[in-house]
Amino acid sequence: MLQWSLMFLLVAIVAAAFGFGGIAASASSIAQVLFVIFLVLFLVSIVMHVMRGRPPPI
């Protein structure tokens, strides 16, 4: 999934370099959405890790 976001980021950069406004806008918006999704998943994983805590000693 991270590869997709990087690919959309590269497409947005290339489209911006060539000046294709419509392509750059759509690709960058997709990259922004994927960034937000990955950020939320990262925060959820941190919260779940903190809530789990340490396992009890054996």
- Return the SS3 of 8: helix
Amino acid present at 1:
M
In tens, the pLDDT along 2-57 reads 677 777 777 777 766 766 656 667 777 888 888 888 888 888 888 888 888 766 66
Sorted by where each begins, the domain ranges of the chain are 2-52
Q: What is the pLDDT of residue 20?
A: 60
- At residue 24, the pLDDT reads 63
Tokens of 36: 């937000």
Main-chain phi, psi angles of 57, to 5 degrees: -70, 150
pTM of the model: 0.53
